[in-house]
Amino acid sequence: MKVGIIRCQQTEDICPGTACLACAREGKQAFGKTRAVEVVGFISCGGCPGKKAVARALDMERRGAKAIFLASCMTRGLPWDYVCPHLGRIKKSLRGNLKADTKVFDWTHS
pTM recorded for the entire structure? 0.95
46 belongs to a structural domain: yes
Distance between CA atoms of 83 and 86, rounded to whole angstroms?
Answer: 9
Q: DSSP character for 4? A: E
The per-residue pLDDT string of the chain (110 residues; one tens digit each, 9 = 90 and over) reads 999 999 999 998 899 999 999 999 999 999 998 999 999 999 999 999 999 999 999 999 999 999 999 999 999 998 888 999 999 999 999 999 999 999 999 999 99
27 belongs to a structural domain: yes
Identity at 62, one-letter amino acid code: R
Q: Residue 19 belongs to what domain range?
A: 2-105
Domain count of the chain?
1
91 belongs to a structural domain: yes
Distance between CA atoms of 3 and 5, rounded to whole angstroms?
Answer: 7
110 belongs to a structural domain: no
76 belongs to a structural domain: yes
61 belongs to a structural domain: yes
